Structure 1
Amino acid sequence: MSVETYTTTATEPSLVDLLDRLLGKGVVITGDVVISLAEVDLVRIQLSAVIGSVRKEMGMYD
């Protein structure tokens, strides 16, 4: 009688791998902040950010 052992590892990407993929392709982040009083908007801020790799834009990224 023989016993076989199989080991499986999860292929979940690490945080560094995810950041590398996001920066390689680029990310757009948007958000809205509204401050209101008695259902009257007093302040509205719209935020947008584009995050990408500098190396890619300068032609250094293969």
Structure 2
Amino acid sequence: MIDFNSEQESNKVVFDEGKFRKMVTERAYSKFRKRGGIGGHDMEDWLEAESEIKKQCFYWFHDE
């Protein structure tokens, strides 16, 4: 799991938690819309969206 509140030594990147939440919200809503707006999968959509955004952020900010 990625710690979004810590700084990376080399680039001093601090991830904005508010921006992260907004990105997850938008991705989860997109999943809801793709299902035709049928409810009942809120938690599943949120957790999938959160995982996807974390993976993207790890890729963007991972220092090799």
Specify the TM-score bucket, using the shorter chain as the normaliser: under 0.3
More helix by share: 2
Normalised to the residue count of structure 1, the TM-score between the two structures is 0.27
**Largest Rg, 1 or 2:** 1
Structure 2 length normalisation: TM-score? 0.26
